[in-house]
Amino acid sequence: MAEHTDAKQRQLDEHRVDDSDRALTTQQGVRVDHDDDSLTTGGRGPTLLEDFHAREKITHFDHERIPERVVHARGAGAYGYFEAYDGWLSDYTTAEFLTSGERIPVFVRFSTVAGSRGSADTVRDVRGFATKFYTRQGNYDLVGNNMPVFFIHDGIKFPDFVHAVKPEPPNEIPQAQSAHDTFWDFVSLQPESLHMVLWLMSDRALPRSYRMMQGFGVHTFRLVDAEGRGTFVKFHWKPRLGTHSLVWDECQKVAGKDPDFNRRDLWDSIEAGRFPEWELGVQLVDEADEHSFDFDLLDATKIIPEEEVPVRPAGRMVLDRNPENFFAETEQIAFHTANVVPGIDFTNDPLLQARNFSYLDTQLIRLGGPNFSQLPVNRPVAAVHHNQRDGYGQHYIHKGQTSYFKNSLGGGCPAVADADTFRHYTEAVSGKKIRERSPSFQDYYSQATLFWNSMTVVEREHIVAAFRFELGKVVDKDIRARTVHELNRVDHDLAARVAAGVGVPEPGSGEPNHGRTSPALSQVAAPVRSVATRKVAVLLADGVDATGVRKFTDALSEAGAIVELLAPHEGEIAAGTGDPLTADRQLNTMASVLYDAVVVPCGPDSVDTLSEDGYAVHFVAEAYKHAKAVAASGSGVQLLERAGVGSRLAKDETIVVADGVVTTTAAADDLPGEFATAFLAELAMHRAWQRRTDSVPA
């Protein structure tokens, strides 16, 4: 647990309850001497109504559940801090947390969108990335996603979109999936969704870890300086560990092997002191340039390409403390896009305007009344004084005779302030009241094409495969055809490749591709290379060359990777050389999909045992299929051969590196340090994307 405490943690401490060394009581604090049997007439008689303890216990239990979030129901969160760099943003905003450089407490909740609370983490979906900054000027919520655009540009379509993506009404199938008729029906009829759908079909929808995904505020917001001057702003979070994804086959398997994969990863990393970190960046646009783009800044289905307006680093965020209680903190946290502080304001983005209504509204049903901001996790660290009174769950005891403004009986308090207040940005607006979207929102295809053009070959392959998978699950053939028709307006090659997979005739040549790219959109083109926190499975059995294992794993741990020894049985592993080792886990409780890489060390007996163990053979083959780094030394190379891994394996003591597979026949005593170095270089690449593995059985 992190050492650091802050104003928010001190406040939370007042609400934390520790039951250790305490006696059991009722809610009224009455000590209880018996909690196993209800009060009955005689040992076999009826239960008595006067058993207040049993009634209280059962009644509370009956009321334990609250409605899950209507979207983003499944999530995981953590506390941490944010600190701004240098204060350079003070030229643009009066928001202190963006300028003071002080550590500001935060809580971040990551989520999937479509699935219910108990659904798996590794589904194809957008990820929520919501941050609550507990600032001295009040709470600021940046409620973003891991993709920079959205499916629709007007909030009035949100219920339609969500109804389409959620499980279908007759049978509540499928859970946490977009691969079904209603979603694609909606998409094929709502072309503004296409840009986001390309992101959704890309690897961005399959994050390796919450710690390895970007975050975006999505909308264009406004920074406001002390003179009331506004500047448009888009917010970006960039993970220190780089942006990395799983592959789709892997995701589907992880959903069964460890449905809590992303949640566990976040929790474990923080518990182990490997604190996740992001840099906050801003794209700033002068108000005078509002109309100088070929899209509308108010359209949330559009990005501002980073090559046009660079992302400027503004601060960093570190998550360093897990919650004590999931329900109290992660479930009860209530985000709201309208939680802004002086110096940050909205724009007329119609999606944002709708959100500013929806988030407060939803908490009223979810958290049961208007006092949810008094729940510990939601309380600001700023002082709170207003004339709002009563309601379910009122925690404060407001003193005094007055609860209205203006008043004389209460000395005029709480009084409106004249400094450090929120003042709405003064914007001139005019126009007729109409239900009509501006033509400037109606280019649905250019940026979808930009995204497609900016992908590397392998990223495109993944997108095509995703479309084929998803549309392949769509029963209605007209929906498939309509979607392909829309894709043809993005790029003909994309549409043709998808059509070929889903039994739809190839469309005509389509509209010409504009050919523009935005290199920043690819997560593979310029990856952050790091082995920090990467999980490596070492497969071994009795007779393993323990000396070589120690030498190798020490080098990996020193570089920041996490090594786990997996064996057919737990406990002591007899060593062929050196002292015995202790297995971290039994091989069959884990799977390759839960690791970033796999290593098979030398040891003839060990390798013989593993070669006879279908689980071990499959482990290696599957890691290979998913383009992970694979290494073997000495007799370990034989297990790779048995698993059909790689065509270029070492024949002698030379270290051979081929498409992420690192091998040498050298054993313990002769194992050169370069072996670990070569493996670390492959591990840092995240995946060997150049490896062709289509023919490897899944």
Q: At what angle do helices 673-684 and 546-558 cross, to 10 degrees?
A: 50
Show the beta-strand stretches assigned E in 335-430. Answer: 344-345
| Residue nearer to ligand HDD on the CB measure, 72 or 204 | 72
d(Cα 98, Cα 313) in Å, to the nearest integer?
Answer: 11
> Quick one: 111 or 190, whose CB is closer to ligand HDD?
111
Which residue sits closest to ligand HDD, CB atoms considered?
128
Q: Is the dihedral of CA 437, 443, 449, 451 positive or negative?
A: negative
Provide, rounded to whole angstroms, the least separation between the CB of residue 144 and ligand HDD.
Answer: 5
**Judged by CB under 6 A, does residue 70 bind ligand HDD?**
yes
What distances in angstroms separate CA 687 from CA 251, 557, 582, 676, one per listed residue?
15, 19, 29, 17
Find the shortest distance in angstroms from Cβ 433 to ligand HDD. Answer: 20
Distance (Å, whole) CA 606 – CA 633: 12
Part in contact with ligand HDD (CB under 6 A); list of ranges 13-21, 142-150, 228-236, 241-249: 142-150
Residue placing its CB nearer to ligand HDD in the complex, 353 or 592:
353
- In the sheet that holds 661-664, the strands lie side by side as 585-586, 562-567, 535-539, 597-600, 629-633, 661-664, 656-658
Stretch that binds ligand HDD, among 59-67, 192-200, 351-359, 478-486 (CB under 6 A): 351-359
Tokens of 589: 């409780």
User: Under the criterion CB under 6 A, does residue 75 sit at the interface with ligand HDD?
Assistant: yes
Retrieve residue 230's tokens. Answer: 């506004």
**DSSP result, 301-339:** T----TTTSPPEEEEEEEEEE--S-IIIIIIT----TT-
Active-site residue 485, yes or no?
no
In the DSSP assignment, the letter for residue 520 is G
Instruction: Please report, for residues 94, 136, 281, 422, the alpha-carbon distance to residue 103 in angstroms, rounded to integers and kept in the order given.
Output: 17, 11, 17, 22
At residue 520, what are phi and psi to the nearest 5 degrees?
-65, -15
Residue 219 or 687 having the CB closest to ligand HDD: 219
Alpha helices, H only, 390-511? 446-454, 457-472, 477-488, 492-502
Find out whether 355 is annotated in a ligand binding site. yes
Tell me how far, at minimum, the Cβ of 439 lies from ligand HDD, in Å.
22
Residues between 11 and 30 that touch ligand HDD (CB under 6 A): none
Q: Residue 360 or 559: which CB sits closer to ligand HDD?
A: 360
Give the position of tokens 């969704």: 193
Helix (H) or strand (E) holding 282: strand 277-286
109 belongs to an annotated ligand binding site: yes
Indicate whether 358 belongs to the interface with ligand HDD (CB under 6 A). yes
Size (the chain), residues: 698
Q: Which of 145, 146, 322, 339 is catalytic?
A: 145
The answer to the question of residue 300 lying near ligand HDD (CB under 6 A) is yes
Annotation says 145 is catalytic: yes
CB of 65 to ligand HDD, least distance (A): 16
Nearest alpha-carbon partner for 261 in 109, 127, 123: 123
Which residue bears the tokens 């081929």? 658
φ, ψ of residue 282 to 5 degrees: the values are -130, 140
Q: Is 264 annotated as a binding residue?
A: no
Q: Lay out the site mask for ligand HDD across 438-467 (x = CB under 6 A, - = otherwise).
A: ------------------------------
Q: Taking CB under 6 A as the criterion, which residues in 168-227 touch ligand HDD?
A: 218-219
Choice between 337 and 635, CB closer to ligand HDD: 337
CA dihedral 444, 450, 451, 453 (to 10 degrees): 130
The dihedral formed by the CA atoms of 51, 55, 56 and 57, expressed in degrees to the nearest 10: 110
Out of 82, 92, 140, 150, the only residue in the binding site for ligand HDD (CB under 6 A) is 150
Contact map string, positions 81 to 120, toward ligand HDD, x by CB under 6 A: ----------------------------x-x---------
Please pick, from the candidates 238, 355, 460, 686, the single residue that binds ligand HDD as defined by CB under 6 A: 355
| Sign of the CA dihedral with 523 first, then 525, 528, and 531 last | positive
**Stretch touching ligand HDD by CB under 6 A, among 66-74, 242-250, 379-387, 496-504:** 66-74
Instruction: Give the interface segment with ligand HDD, choosing from 176-184, 355-363, 456-464, 481-489 (CB under 6 A).
Output: 355-363
Segment contacting ligand HDD by CB under 6 A, of 65-73, 284-292, 564-572, 663-671: 65-73
Task: Choose one: 25-33, 144-152, 407-415, 639-647; the region binding ligand HDD (CB under 6 A).
Answer: 144-152
Would you say 158 is a known binding-site residue?
A: yes
Identify which of residues 74 and 625 has a Cβ nearer to ligand HDD in the complex. Answer: 74
**How many Å apart are CA 384 and CA 138, to the nearest integer?**
9
Of 72, 219, 236, 244, the catalytic one is 72
Residues annotated as part of the active site: 72, 145
The residue ranges that bind ligand HDD (CB under 6 A) are 69-72, 75, 109, 111, 128, 130, 143-145, 150, 155, 158, 218-219, 300, 333, 335, 351, 354-355, 358-359, 362
Binding residues for heme are: 69, 109, 158, 355, 359, 366
Binding residues are: 69, 109, 158, 355, 359, 366
